[in-house]
Structure 1
Amino acid sequence: MLTAPTFSSVEGAYLALLRLTTEEAEHHIAARGNEAREVIGVGFRLTDPRQRLPYLAERKANPVFQFAETLWYLAGRRDLEMIGYYAPSMRASSTDGIRLGGSAYGHTLFSPASGTKQSQFDQVVELLLNEPDSKRGYLPVFKSKELADRESPDVACLAGLHLLPRDGQLHMVCNMRANDLDCGLLSDVFSFTMIQEYAAIQLGLELGTYTHFIGSAHVNDRDSERVKRVLDEANSRPAAPDFPFPAMPESTEGATIAHVLQHEEALRTNQLRYNAEHIHGLGLDPYWEQVVMLFELYRQIQHDQTAAVDPGLLDALHPGLRWLMERKWPVCAAAPDGSLR
């Protein structure tokens, strides 16, 4: 018997939790001045964690940030210089204006642990390679010392990730102490399922199910109007868009992440500019070429500020990514003369 509702994609889980919190909220809270409706102790399971993008025009999910945050995690970083470019609002969570603390999950997971040359992630991968049925593949993130500083704006919402190889597949269970269902859930599931898929490749396993448990699942009152529009859209559309996303290439390793991030930095700092032909010549797998295309499109939006982005890049994008970009940024839906496509 399953203990959590099962969905084929994150979109179904996201909508179900929004409906639950909107229609059956258990509490109204005001933690740190944020008025919110809350349900306690909820979860869901994804049968296909690769379907980690929601296609809802009113939600306007941002695939550029989602891939950037994932790479930031996988590289074990905590700097604001990179992630603040894609999400300026995250700067408010830094105590020194230079780095992030609890929310820099990748620094906890992928940076070498104190006194060792291995990260937590490396240690768990080594454990599971030698003991495939182990139940010990748990990666804790939230630290008890975070409770000591009550004024800190940056405390980990992620308690930990549990990697469970079973019958040739890698399953993962995520435990969240809290989740903002409208703003945080989608990015969290995107990044964590990417980490799961990356781990499966390192272990030589197929991708299994992803299960997500939340202690405090909440929707902030300030986001209630958008949540209503999202639910109205989902209830009124004849069918949801269907854009199956491909598998991460089996050749993906730490060097792959570093290679993609080299191009990310050059584009973020406006040192280079690419077209689709340039990107195809970078020596990356087509899967990771798509990510560099997103970063180049975002460079054009941020630095060039043109009336329309390069149509050749848009045409080369995966249809689902193009759908999201066109709804997130009007310049991605505009013809070169500035008119709508």
Structure 2
Amino acid sequence: MTTISGDSITELFARAVRLTIDGEKVIPRGMDTRELLDVRLLLHEPRARLLAAPSGRVLNTAFAVAETVWILSGSDAPWIYEFNGQLRQYAEDDGILRGAYGPRLRCWDGHVDQLALALATLRGDPDSRRAVIQLYDPARDAGGHRDVPCTLGYRFHLRQGRLHMATTMRSQDLWTGLPYDVFAATTLHELMASWLGVELGVYHHHVDSLHLYEHDLDKAASVLNTTVPTSGKLPSLETPWEGFDALLADVRYGRRVNHPGWDTMTAVLASYQQWKRGQREAAVAKAEDIEGALGEGLRAWYAVLRGR
């Protein structure tokens, strides 16, 4: 096993690129790829979840926020395409992503809220090893639909007053997918710790196949030739479990909830919706008012869009 450790996603990303770029050449589904097998990434500060890499890899910060809200709310609704239209290529003819994590997380088999169940498990037995959330479903995913989940599932362990979380990936596109997957998973990690009233522990990201596609290698190499900045912790998202779904709905629809962390997320979504409606100057002006790493990330993404 290859273990990569760091205090921020930016550190992990840079170290993972350095190793994976020299990985073994494989060609799954006819696509040239560099691959490392059996990789474990350890993030010691899960709130340092927003990638702040050089210009070679600027994150669509609005999509990172939107996807997180979309997943946690249990949704597979097509509003997510407003934030990332490329996802449409994986949808079925009805426009639905069959592999969307949200319904599996919050309504497995049409009735099991796995998030609520994991929380109840740890509240009832803090030492439990059964706080598991399953995302991969062979009954659906072996059938060959376009959007097969890369994430197999999540596990939580509460030890010595700290909540640790582990994610297992069957496959992970380092360049495109890792920054977004870690952003969403560590948000869940932080929330679960807050609902249990415990400290946030280490986030473990286990990947069976960590890979870079050949068409991303030149961009990935640019990360190795520059000084990679570290990214600080994002504002706390601690909020009660009771009323959580209503809070997510408010954030989705641009309503303030009088919570600094979540209102920042709301502002990011609202700004990007203005951008998509063609109100570019208004979107940029709103982004200028967003403080901290999320504001910086969104402004950097607008700079990328303007340069295209």
2:215 — aligned with what? 222
| 8 Å Cα contact 2:174/2:212 also seen in 1 | yes
1:323 positional shift:
1.9
Q: Residues 209-288 of structure 1: matches in 2 within 5 Å?
A: 209-234=202-227, 240-249=229-238, 251-253=239-241, 255-262=243-250, 264-265=252-253, 282-288=256-262
Paired letter, 1:253: W
CA 1:197/1:4 → structure 2, altered by over 3 Å: closer, same or farther? same
Aligned length: 306
Instruction: Output the amino acid matched with 1:40.
Output: L
Residue 133 of structure 2: which of 122, 125, 139 is its match? 139
- State whether residues 309 and 332 of structure 1, in contact with CA within 8 Å, keep that contact through their aligned partners in structure 2: no
Task: State the partner residue of 2:118.
Answer: 124
The separation in 2 between residues aligned to 1:224 and 1:331, in whole angstroms, is: 19
Structure 2: runs of 5+ lacking an equivalent: none
Q: Which runs of 4+ in 1 moved over 4 A?
A: none
State the partner residue of 1:148.
Answer: 142
Deviation at 1:3, TM superposition (A): 7.8
With a CA cutoff of 8 Å and minimum separation of 6, indicate the structure with the bigger relative contact order: 2
Match for residue 12 of structure 2? 13
Confirm or deny that 1:111 pairs with 2:107.
yes
Name 1:326's counterpart in structure 2.
Answer: 299
Distance in 2 of aligned mates of 1:310 and 1:19: 34
SS in 2 for 1:135: coil
Q: For residues 267 and 193 of structure 2, what CA distance do their matches in structure 1 show?
A: 25
Q: Which residue of 2 aligns with 1:69?
A: 67
Q: CA distance change for structure 1 residues 167 and 241 in 2, over 3 Å: closer, same or farther? A: closer
1:52 to 33, 49, 53: 49
Q: How many Å separate the matches in 2 of 1:222 and 1:88?
A: 20
Answering whether residue 79 of structure 2 is matched by residue 82 of structure 1, we say yes
The structure with the larger Rg is 1
SS state of the match for residue 197, structure 1?
helix
Opposite residue 298 of structure 2, the aligned amino acid is M
User: Offset of 1:20 from its aligned partner?
Assistant: 0.6
Equivalent position amino acid for 2:65 in 1? F
- Provide the residue aligned with 1:291 in structure 2: 265
Distance 2:292 2:119 in 1: 34
Helix, strand or coil at the partner of 1:49: coil
Q: Percent same amino acid among aligned pairs?
A: 28
Structure-2 change in CA distance of 1:229 and 1:305 (3 Å): farther
Mapping 1:201-212, distance limit 5 Å: 201-212=194-205
Q: Which amino acid aligns with 2:263?
A: E
Q: Distance in 2 between matches of 1:92 and 1:99?
A: 10
Q: Identify unmatched segments of 5+ residues in structure 1.
A: 268-278, 334-341
Tell me, in whole angstroms, the C-alpha distance in 2 between the residues paired with 1:128 and 1:157: 26
C-alpha contact (below 8 Å) 2:2/2:39 kept by paired residues: no
Change (3 A) 1:244 1:125: closer
Per-residue Cα deviation, 1:84-131 (whole angstroms, up to 9, x for no partner) = 1111111111123331112x11211112544x4x41121121111111
- Cα offsets for 1:256-296 (capped at 9, x unmatched): 4433434534x6xxxxxxxxxxx7xx342111110111112
Matches of 2:284 and 2:35, distance apart in 1: 43
| Pair 135,198 (structure 1): closer, same or farther in 2 beyond 3 Å | same
One-letter amino acid of the counterpart of residue 246, structure 2: A
Q: Distance in 1 between matches of 2:65 and 2:56?
A: 20
Q: Secondary structure at the match of 1:54?
A: coil
Residue in structure 2 matching 1:29, options 6, 19, 26:
26
Indicate how the Cα distance of structure 1 residues 170 and 225 shifts in structure 2: closer, same or farther if over 3 A, else same.
Answer: same
Contact in 1 for aligned 2:161/2:198 (Cα 8 Å): yes
**1: CA distance between counterparts of 2:16 and 2:296?**
24
Whole-Å Cα distance in 1 between the matches of residues 2 and 30 of structure 2? 33
**206-215 vs 30-39, which deviates more?**
30-39
Structure 1 stretch displaced more, 84-93 or 297-306: 297-306
Letter of the 2:125 counterpart: E
Give the superposition deviation at 1:196.
1.0
- Would the aligned equivalents of 2:274 and 2:283 in 1 still touch at CA under 8 Å? yes
Q: How many Å separate the matches in 1 of 2:57 and 2:43? A: 20
**What is the TM-score normalised by the length of structure 2?**
0.91
1:135-160 alpha-carbon deviations (Å, 9 max, x no partner): 1111111122245323x221110011
